Amino acid sequence: MSDMLEVRGLSASYGGKRILENVSLAVRSAEIVTVVGHNGAGKSTLLKSVFNLIPWRSGEIRLQGRDLLGLAPERILAAGIAYVPQHRSVFPGLTVDENLRMGGFLLRDKALLASRIGNLRQLFPVLAERAGQLAGTLSGGEQRMLEIARALLMDPRLVMLDEPSIGLAPRMVDAVFATVRLLREQGKSVLMVEQNVRKALAASDRAYVMELGEIRLEDAAPALIDDPRVARLYLGRR
């Protein structure tokens, strides 16, 4: 299986503080990879660095061999990476459909945009039911679904999700992870940062453990669930 995303020797800092130190990881085609670790480990900074939202970076970031390090975020999106940030990013005063159209702002072909929105309505029936509803009136889980759907408008090859289950009711947490698995079924690669370690590892193919801006462990996700170091640090087992 070929690498979709390859990160080599990535270091990053802002505010004069080094956050990432020599981080290397890979995401293969149609694979779900999760990065876990305590708050402040550098997980969110990793995703922001890939999407060029961090002031200083060095190293290599490649999407199917193409160097992305110097590209602006909108060019990274056009190249095939979508990023869903941790904090809610819907436009609350716009309808669900209007929010979806905002995700296709780089598309000049209106017929293609309409076709992709139609496909997303089939993929996310709850959004089709609420097409005319203001996004700000949706539940937290529904807003997260809308954010993920909107990220798919550009038909990315890789979707990066920062804490997709944060603040959600248990039922919606399960729905979000089901959506993540659905992305893989659609042929997308997923790079996910998540605090719900148990559910994230259960939904993933491989995982990395970060501590203090460095990768400490890498393995198949089921192996990390049973790894005593991960169990002790992140799963509450003794």
Give the mean pLDDT per block of 10 residues along the chain (238 residues): 90 91 97 94 96 94 94 95 91 94 84 89 90 94 91 93 91 90 94 93 95 94 88 65
Nearest to 67 by CA among 55, 83, 84, 50: 50
Q: Can you read off the two tokens belonging to residue 57? A: 């970076």
Q: What local confidence, expressed as pLDDT, does residue 47 receive?
A: 97
Which residue(s) pair with 95 in the sheet? 134
Which residue(s) pair with 191 in the sheet? 33, 160
Top-level CATH class of 3-90+152-234? alpha beta
Q: What local confidence, expressed as pLDDT, does residue 235 receive?
A: 67
Q: What local confidence, expressed as pLDDT, does residue 76 receive?
A: 96
Q: CA 195, CA 52: separation in Å to the nearest integer?
A: 23
Integer angstrom CA distances of residue 17 from 11, 20, 21, 85: 11, 9, 11, 21
pTM of the predicted protein model: 0.91
| Amino acid identity at 49 | S
- Domain positions in the chain: 3-90+152-234
Nearest to 208 by CA among 32, 18, 76, 4: 32
Q: What local confidence, expressed as pLDDT, does residue 237 receive?
A: 55
Q: What local confidence, expressed as pLDDT, does residue 238 receive?
A: 52
Q: What local confidence, expressed as pLDDT, does residue 12 receive?
A: 96
Quote the distance between the C-alpha of residue 183 and its chain's center.
11
Using the 8-state DSSP alphabet, how is residue 205 labeled?
S
Q: What local confidence, expressed as pLDDT, does residue 1 receive?
A: 59
Q: What local confidence, expressed as pLDDT, does residue 236 receive?
A: 58
